[in-house]
Amino acid sequence: MSYTERSHLKYSEKLIELFKNPKNVGEMKDASVTVTEGSPVCGDVMQLSLKIENEKIVDAKFLSFGCAANIATGSVITEKVKGLSIDEAEKITMNDVANELGGLPQVKMHCAVLAAKALKKAIEEYKTKVLRRK
């Protein structure tokens, strides 16, 4: 019996895979912007770092203090933004993140919200600090 069959939360196989083998985890020393966002729902925290060149996201990393869904959404958001312009990335929603995972249990949707909010916060901070200097 797999974890998803035993769990009352009904996590998707993709979520379980990204929890066991997360992508883009770590600190980024040459980040253009790094932000930290927290969830008041459960106390999860995500740090998101983006490297941006010519208004295009060339790399993304995250650190997570949270549950399996938080780790998986961090993996998804960092994979989705690579290669996108900041304007394209800014359009990513919590539903895009959840759908990429094959859905999330309703009680874990706040993790998709957290990832999307961290991304929007990072882009906003980048625009405020970097683009306004130009």
* Half-sphere exposure for 81 (CA within 13 Å, toward CB): 36
Decide if 27 contacts 61 (C-beta within 8 A). Answer: yes
CA distance linking residue 15 with residue 68, whole number of Å = 8
Residue 42 burial (C-beta neighbours within 10 Å; 0-12, 13-18, 19+): middle
Q: Please list the active-site residues.
A: 42, 111
